[in-house]
A = this chain, B = another copy of it.
Amino acid sequence: MNIKKASRIEIIAIGSELLTPNFQETNTLYLTQRLNDLGLEVSFKSIVGDDWGNLLSTIKEALSRAHLIIATGGLGPTQDDRTRGAFGESLNRKLIFNKELLEKIRERFRRRDLSMPAINRKQAYVIEGAEILGNKNGTAPGIWLDTSQQIVVLLPGPPHELKPMFEESIWPRLKKTCRSHVYRKVLKIASLTESKVETLISDLYPQSSHVEIATLAYPGQIEIHLVARSEKSQDQAESQVNKLEKKILERLQDNIFSSSGEELEEVVGNLLRRQKESLAVAESCTGGLLSNRLTNIPGSSDYFLQGIIAYSNQAKINSLGLQPSMLEKHGAVSFKTAEAMAKGIKNKAQADYGLGITGIAGPGGVSPQKPVGLVYVGLAWERGTEVSKNIFTGNRKNIKFQSSQKALDMLRRRLQKTQTLSLKSKK
């Protein structure tokens, strides 16, 4: 049977450990990645333990709705390894003892100077009509079963057994059945809300039936994911995405800071490096987050000179040269203070750009005029300054992140403006 772009695919991860609070399951992420590489999308992921009834319920549901089912785990020799049996029963197929397979398993033990425990005999039973997939890194063989209604694949749970088996046995078989080409692009936006983005572009959705659009919202960041598939060629998928991207760009313009995967701190870093300019930052409520994000980028020492976290008024006065009278008059969380911090750090570090952030990340420090989430961000450059007033929502960490995001985005817009001006003046 052929697996196509429109096929429904279900991954079932089996094992009681997967239903505990501390187990970060990664097999399904790996399988999803490889299926995506073939232009195939996963429709369902199901996670179930060793309980026989629950296992049957999950497998039967998958058999009723999916064209390709990939199950991981539960192929070991112990009592609670029930995947083979549960699939046999659900498919109404017998488990057949395979003598050659038993020999291979026994041989594996022999090579390690061990004798095979009796319980491993179980692993030599194969679902009627299935192909056996060799396992170089463990005793559990995998299974490929094409019933002509659907394809069922059983893989061992340990990642170091699953991955080589998928690459050697499953990837080539799937590759033969599907010819689809996929192109994917992610557009990232910082200073707009999800609803604003939707309002600006939602009428494009029906016009672009060849491209899937998904809008994902994080605090301080919106992402538009565009995916196109083509049975014909990679070029076709690519041009479908690019056509829609162009329309979205017309609507959102410079609100989009990245369309090739970069984070905002990378975009800003690349602009600074390209323009051979430097940055220093003065942080109050973000407390080092902005500097931390900037320095997460390898090579940031090329443009990032210095950060000062001035939490107390005293530190603002001593380290950034703010006037006590100004702080007295306007308060530490104010338009004027953000501006003075940006100018102060720019001058102190002799940088081309200075950013200053002051606000109330909460939960303390609030007054009726100054609620949690009130944040001023100042930007200073050679010929001017700019300050934004923001009211962010969320908890302390969210507010810190949104504040750092706003600061980076203000700088990005300024850098892009400078870039455009300098390109124009060169013409």
A61 contacts which chain B residues (CB < 8 A)?
A: 57, 61
A218 contacts which chain B residues (CB < 8 A)?
A: 158
A309 pairs with B306, CB closer than 8 A: yes
Given contact pairs A199-B117, A298-B362, A393 touches B112 in the complex (Cβ within 8 A): yes
Range, interface on chain A: 35 or more
CA distance A142 to B216 in the complex (A): 19
A294 pairs with B287, CB closer than 8 A: yes
B46 pairs with A19, CB closer than 8 A: no
> Is A422 engaged at the interface, CB distance under 8 Å to the other chain?
no
> Is A126 engaged at the interface, CB distance under 8 Å to the other chain?
no
> Is A100 engaged at the interface, CB distance under 8 Å to the other chain?
no
B298 pairs with A288, CB closer than 8 A: no
> Is A114 engaged at the interface, CB distance under 8 Å to the other chain?
yes
* Chain B residue at minimal CB-CB distance from A15: B216
A23 contacts which chain B residues (CB < 8 A)?
A: 29
> Is A89 engaged at the interface, CB distance under 8 Å to the other chain?
no
From A47, A193, A214, name the one whose CB has the most chain B CB atoms within 10 angstroms. Answer: A214
A48 pairs with B43, CB closer than 8 A: yes
> Is A150 engaged at the interface, CB distance under 8 Å to the other chain?
no
Given contact pairs A46-B44, A112-B391, A292-B287, A217 touches B76 in the complex (Cβ within 8 A): yes
> Is A225 engaged at the interface, CB distance under 8 Å to the other chain?
yes
A19 contact from B32, B138, B193, Cβ within 8 A = B32
CA distance A314 to B349 in the complex (A): 9
Given contact pairs A21-B33, A298-B364, A311-B301, A47 touches B48 in the complex (Cβ within 8 A): no
CA distance A283 to B304 in the complex (A): 13
> Shortest beta-carbon distance, A242 to chain B, in Å?
21
A79 contacts which chain B residues (CB < 8 A)?
A: 198, 202, 205
B311 pairs with A308, CB closer than 8 A: no
Given contact pairs A288-B291, A308-B306, A29 touches B19 in the complex (Cβ within 8 A): no
A 262-318 contacts with B by CB, 8 A = 283, 286-296, 298-301, 304-312, 314-315, 318
A 143-180 contacts with B by CB, 8 A = 158, 160
> Is A319 engaged at the interface, CB distance under 8 Å to the other chain?
yes
* Interface-located stretch among A90-98, A229-237, A248-256, A395-403: A395-403
Given contact pairs A79-B205, A398-B160, A16 touches B114 in the complex (Cβ within 8 A): no
Given contact pairs A19-B42, A21-B29, A397 touches B308 in the complex (Cβ within 8 A): no
* Chain B residue at minimal CB-CB distance from A47: B45
A 1-36 contacts with B by CB, 8 A = 8, 16-24, 29-30, 32-33, 36
CA distance A263 to B396 in the complex (A): 16
* Chain A residues with a Cβ under 8 A of chain B: 8, 16-24, 29-30, 32-33, 36, 41-51, 54, 57-58, 61, 65, 76-80, 111-114, 117-120, 137-138, 158, 160, 193-196, 198-199, 202, 205, 214-219, 225, 283, 286-296, 298-301, 304-312, 314-315, 318-319, 348-349, 361-365, 391, 393-398, 400
A and B contact pairs by CB, cutoff 8 A, 7 listed: A19-B43, A22-B225, A24-B24, A113-B391, A283-B291, A287-B307, A300-B311
